Amino acid sequence: MIKNFNYLFVTFFGIGTFRFAPGTFTSLITTVFLFSLFHIIDLSHIVILIFLLLIFFYSFYAVADYIKDNKNKDPKEVTIDEVIGQSIPIYLYEIAHGTDKNPQDSAIIYVCIFILFRLFDIQKPFPINIFDQKFKNSFGVILDDVIAGLYVVLTLIIFMVIKSNFLL
């Protein structure tokens, strides 16, 4: 039973088994899901944070359990790491802007976050590539996407600083 649950968890309910772009589909569904939680359902930031932290911490166990008998230690069907990486910049954007945003502006930012995350996750710039290459365990599988998410945050901060200081 736990093996079946872990399989569904690490493949994000089977989305990771898609033949074409499973990571992109998982990131897109995560983006839409979080937009719904924040802007349609208007769920508390704290409840969402608890939910995301549970996913984050459980994913280390679930991914380790899933890959332990697998020769490939970073199989493409494991997409829970995309959920985690995509969630980081979205959650930080939401708590940074509180109630001072409208859904239309947020939707534009969510699209930018989605595109930037996929770019960093696919290109794997330093040090993402180090985690991807050197750590062939659940830590490496998850942390490269966490760093990609943090790169998105850094990119958006740099953009906002440039916009506020140099563009009117």
In sequence order, what DSSP letters do the residues of 26-60 get, joined into one string?
HHHHHHHHHHIIIIIS---HHHHHHHHHHHHHHHH
Whole-Å CA distances, 71 to 28, 66, 137, 161: 28, 11, 11, 45
Q: What is the pTM of this model?
A: 0.91
Predicted local distance difference test score (pLDDT) of residue 103: 80
**Overall number of domains in the chain:** 1
Supply the range of the domain harboring residue 74: 2-166
pLDDT for 125 equals: 85
Per the listing, tokens 């969510």 go with 110
Cβ partners under 8 Å of residue 35, min gap 6: 90, 103, 106, 107, 110
Cα 25–105–165 angle (5° rounding)? 115
The torsion angle over the Cα atoms of residues 81, 47, 30 and 14, rounded to 10 degrees, is 70
> pLDDT: is 84 or 98 the higher one?
84
* Mean pLDDT of the 60-88 span: 88
pLDDT-based confidence at 99, cuts 50/70/90? low
Q: Is the pLDDT of residue 68 over 90?
A: no
7, 63 in Cβ contact below 8 A?
no
How do residues 115-167 score in pLDDT, each as one tens digit? Answer: 999 999 999 888 878 877 777 778 888 999 999 999 999 999 999 888 888 76
